Amino acid sequence: MMRELYTIRFTALRLSREWIVLLLLFGVPIVLVTLFSVILADIEYMGVSAVDETNVLMVLAFQLFGGTVAMNYIYLDFFTERRYRIQSLPINTSLYGFTLMLLGTLYSILLGAILVGYSTLVWDVNWGNIPWSIFIITLMALLSSIICLLLTFSVKKFSIAERLSEVYGIGAILLAGLFFPMPDNAVINWVNEYVNPIALAYEAVDAYRNANVEDAWMNAGLLGGLIVITFVIMLLLGRRRMP
């Protein structure tokens, strides 16, 4: 167990060199948060600050893609020639895979927390209860990692898994109506109310911000339910695919 935990240090060093990942998951949202804060300053819609709503949704939206970190590391270490070196090490490869997922998730949470701090301190974005918002970001990051790994284990070609992870993220954003309003359709409304992670996460943050704690916990609970269901499926598929 100690050997597997020791590998976290080396995985962290690998992560620190991933400048493209840092640019996409941190640099881009920083720029967007800054731009929207300037453009939407003093604009309100139905009594809600446009800056608050847009930036909260923006930070949550990028959590949908955070799972690609764990996804890529699992693929590189277990589905390429690198796996022979990993298998020759005196470690439990299953635990090692878990540490990759854990560190990738923590990395996404850290970036999300920094974005929350930046938007709050610099642009006065109202996140409501900060610890609660970071808890919701944690759920989002964990779900994203699980779904990305589930996709990796579901298909034989990694390039297809990558495209599917993009479909997951962009599809959730589209269904939530971030780019343009969705039609008032019973199926779409049901998906956004019970399944769509970004819609659930935003409602959880917004409800807590408005002192509606019961609704906040209900949406967080739905996110937790999705995590449990997808984690079980991921484990079943992972046992079949992992070398």
| Cα 34 from Cα 137, distance rounded (Å) | 20
| Cα 158 from Cα 153, distance rounded (Å) | 9
Nearest to 172 by CA among 192, 151, 189: 192
| Cα 13 from Cα 7, distance rounded (Å) | 10
Given a contact cutoff of 8 angstroms between Cβ atoms, the answer to whether 125 and 37 are in contact is: yes
Q: What is the pLDDT of residue 189?
A: 94
Q: What is the pLDDT of residue 242?
A: 78
243 residues of the chain, pLDDT tens digit each: 566 667 777 888 888 888 888 888 999 999 999 999 999 887 877 677 889 999 999 999 999 999 999 999 999 999 999 888 888 878 888 888 899 999 999 999 999 999 999 999 999 999 999 999 999 999 999 999 999 999 999 999 999 999 999 999 999 999 998 878 888 899 999 999 999 999 999 999 999 999 999 999 999 999 999 999 999 999 999 988 876
Q: How many domains does the chain have?
A: 1
Q: Give the pairing of strands 48-49 and 44-45.
A: antiparallel
| Cα 199 from Cα 190, distance rounded (Å) | 11
Q: What is the pLDDT of residue 7?
A: 78
Q: What is the pLDDT of residue 4?
A: 66
Coil, helix or strand at residue 35? helix
Q: What is the pLDDT of residue 17?
A: 82
pTM score, whole prediction: 0.93
Q: What is the pLDDT of residue 1?
A: 57
Which tokens hold the place of 1?
């167990």
Quickly list DSSP for 190-205: HHHHHT-HHHHHHHHH
Query: What's at 237, amino acid-wise?
Result: L
For residue 230, the enclosing domain spans 2-241
Nearest to 58 by CA among 138, 167, 164, 176: 176
